[in-house]
Amino acid sequence: MIQCKRVYDDASKNDGYRILVDRLWPRGVRKADLAFDEWCKILTPSSELRKAFHGETIDFASFSDAYRQELAQHEDEGRRIAALAAQQTVTLLYGAKNTGQNHALVLADWLRHLKIS
């Protein structure tokens, strides 16, 4: 199971393995205060793509398509996380304010559809 959660929300025992999936450390959060198991920067959107989306140069649909193309370059890392999620709950942690349109949701969907061997 793969779920998404804001870094500002309290950790729960139901979160399982917690992975921070932001390229930049979230504002206002001390590293010592965030409960996480790993920080996976390789599966985050490129700086250019992130800036284009947050600067409203592109819409969410265009961002999602471009991000999936970037993710395709890192399928091995994606399969590693998908394999973890096949054995336990994996929670993708993100800092974005928008809980309905963000990169963690795109990443979670991409991971759910990866073929693991």
Q: pTM of the full predicted structure?
A: 0.93
What's the pLDDT at 71? 97
Q: What is the pLDDT of residue 56?
A: 82
Q: Residue 28, class by beta-carbon neighbours within 10 Å (0-12 exposed, 13-18 middle, 19+ buried)?
A: exposed
Report d(CA 88, CA 61) in Å as an integer. 30
Nearest residue to 78 (alpha-carbon basis) of 105, 101, 35, 112: 112
pLDDT of residue 14: 95
> What is the pLDDT at residue 102?
94
Mean pLDDT by 10 residues, the chain (117 residues): 96 96 94 95 94 88 96 96 96 94 96 87
pLDDT at 55: 82
> Rounded to whole angstroms, what are the CA distances from 112 to 13, 86, 103?
22, 9, 14
pLDDT of residue 115: 84
